[in-house]
Structure 1
Amino acid sequence: MLVAEILKGKGQAVFTLTPDTSLTEACAELDRKRVGALIVCQGDDVVGVLSERDIVRAVARDGVAALSQPTSHYMTTEVIFAEPGETVAVLMGRMTDRRVRHLPVLRDRQLAGVVSIGDVVKCQIAEAKQEAESLRTYIAAG
């Protein structure tokens, strides 16, 4: 399955914030949207990803004072992207190797969606079920 197909199934909603958004506001947005990461944009450019993991590190390092700091202080700036034509297997490898759970998807250099590790796992499970059902059907017909 391709990234584009995952986005069709889950929708292309992307939740973003700006680098100057406080960590407190970012936490509230994560809670409101019920997601594990937000894409940080400066205009049309993706400049970072802020994940729950980034927030935990921020609080561990700087305590409660981190919450009043801008997102830019703690976001991951080395953003790893996905493209619509890539396969789930390629994404799984990239996510595992780079130890990331969310990949922004770029289409024609524009933010087109986000794929999470949960999306990838869900897709793998669906493919395994479909393959098992195909085998059952084949065996029953034989």
Structure 2
Amino acid sequence: MLVAEILKDKGDAVYAIGPDVSVAEACAELERKRVGALIVCDGDRVTGVFSERDVVRAIAREGQACLERPVSAVMSTDVVFTAPAETVGVLMERMTERRIRHLPVLSDGRLAGVISIGDVVKCQIAEVTYEAESLKTYIAAG
């Protein structure tokens, strides 16, 4: 399955924040949107990804004081992207190697969506279930 197919099913909504938003405000946005990461954009340019992991690491380092800092001070800045034509297998490999859970999707240089590890797992489960059902049908048909 391709990234484009996953986005077709899940939609292309991207939850983004600016780099000057406080960590506390960004945490509230994570809760409001019920997501594990927000894309940090400065205008049309992706500058980072702010995730639950970033919050935990910042609190471990600085304590509660980190909540007043801007997201840009704690976000992950080494953003790894994917493209609509990439396969789920490629995504799984990239996410595993880099130990990341969210990949912004770029299409023609523009942010077109976000793929999470949950999306990838859901896709893999659907494919395995389809294969199993197909095999059952084939065997039952004799």
TM-score higher than 0.5 here? Answer: yes
The equivalent of 1:60 in structure 2 is 60
The equivalent of 2:110 in structure 1 is 110
Q: Report the Cα distance in structure 2 between the residues aligned to 1:55 and 1:84, rounded to whole angstroms.
A: 29
Displacement after TM superposition at 1:30 (Å): 0.1
Give the letter aligned to residue 122 of structure 1: K
Displacement after TM superposition at 1:102 (Å): 0.3
Displacement after TM superposition at 1:33 (Å): 0.0
How many residue pairs match? The answer is 142
Q: Report the Cα distance in structure 1 between the residues aligned to 2:51 and 2:90, rounded to whole angstroms.
A: 22
Please list every run of 5 or more consecutive structure 2 residues that lacks an aligned counterpart in the other structure.
none
Displacement after TM superposition at 1:93 (Å): 0.4
The equivalent of 1:16 in structure 2 is 16
Give the letter aligned to residue 133 of structure 1: E
Displacement after TM superposition at 1:128 (Å): 0.1
Q: Report the Cα distance in structure 1 between the residues aligned to 2:122 and 2:50, rounded to whole angstroms.
A: 23
TM-score of the two chains, using structure 1 as the length reference: 0.99
The equivalent of 2:127 in structure 1 is 127
Q: Alignment partner of 1:137: what SS? A: helix
The equivalent of 1:98 in structure 2 is 98
Displacement after TM superposition at 1:94 (Å): 0.3
Q: Report the Cα distance in structure 1 between the residues aligned to 2:54 and 2:40, rounded to whole angstroms.
A: 13
TM-score of the two chains, using structure 2 as the length reference: 0.99
The equivalent of 1:34 in structure 2 is 34
Q: Alignment partner of 1:104: what SS? A: strand
Please list every run of 5 or more consecutive structure 1 residues that lacks an aligned counterpart in the other structure.
none
Q: Report the Cα distance in structure 1 between the residues aligned to 2:20 and 2:4, rounded to whole angstroms.
A: 31
Cα distance per residue 1:28-68 (max 9 Å; x no partner) = 00000000000000000000000000000001101111000
Q: Report the Cα distance in structure 1 between the residues aligned to 2:51 and 2:24, rounded to whole angstroms.
A: 13
- Structure 1 segments, 4+ long, off by >2 Å, are none
Q: Alignment partner of 1:82: what SS? A: coil
Displacement after TM superposition at 1:3 (Å): 0.2
